[in-house]
């Protein structure tokens, strides 16, 4: 995103904690409320809500913790999810619907069906992922407002 655009954006930032299932979803819930207060179209809000919630759950389930940052500008909502690792071994496989490395405990919660990253890509207008085994994962997703 260009610097000029960031300057004119509203920035929201949330810490997401590893394995904290009782609070998982709070960040996405807050982001959704802010988008609603800004009067953004409900279909756009829903896309942003799904994307942030899947990203938040991924950080809780798969990472050592991380952060979700959202920039809201008049043209778009940009969601950046960055975790502290341990990274994704094979991004191509992780992007396949149905491929999952989640534990049984996570599956019992209704997640780990291998739909998280495909869902994020499906509902984003721009989708970028950077990850390597042993490093952090960075997701950048943009949803156009108009």
Partner 1 sequence: MKINEIMSILEAECLTGEHLLDDIKVEAAFGCDLMSDVLAFINGKTLLLTGLINPQVIRTAEMVDINVIVFVRGKKPDKEVIELAKKNNIILLSTNHILYTACGILYNNGLKGIPIRGGE
CB 33, min distance to partner 1, A: 10
Kindly tell me which of 58 and 78 has the beta carbon lying closer to partner 1. 58
DSSP bridge pairs for 66: 16, 83
Q: Which residues bind partner 1 (CB under 8 A)?
A: 21-22, 24-25, 28-29, 32, 42, 46, 49-50, 53-54, 57, 109-111, 113-116, 118-119, 122
Kindly tell me which of 35 and 80 has the beta carbon lying closer to partner 1. 35
3-state helix, strand, coil split of the chain in percent (to 5) is: 40, 25, 40
d(C-alpha 58, C-alpha 60), whole Å: 5
The answer to whether 81 and 138 have CB atoms below 8 angstroms apart is: yes
Kindly tell me which of 96 and 133 has the beta carbon lying closer to partner 1. 96
């Amino acid at each position: 995103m260009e610097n000029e655009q960031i300057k004119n954006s509203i920035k929201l930032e949330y810490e997401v904690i590893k394995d904290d299932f009782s609070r998982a979803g709070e960040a996405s819930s807050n982001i959704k409320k802010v988008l609603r207060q800004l009067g953004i179209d409900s279909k756009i809000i829903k896309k942003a809500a799904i994307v942030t919630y899947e990203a938040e759950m991924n950080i809780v389930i798969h990472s050592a913790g991380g952060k979700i940052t959202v920039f809201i500008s008049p043209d778009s909502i940009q969601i950046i999810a960055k975790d502290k690792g341990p990274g994704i071994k094979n991004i191509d496989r992780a992007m396949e619907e149905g491929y999952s490395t989640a534990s049984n405990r996570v599956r019992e919660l209704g997640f780990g069906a291998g739909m998280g990253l495909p869902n994020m890509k499906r509902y984003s207008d721009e989708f970028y992922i950077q990850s390597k085994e042993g490093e952090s994962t960075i997701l950048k997703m943009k949803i156009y407002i108009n």
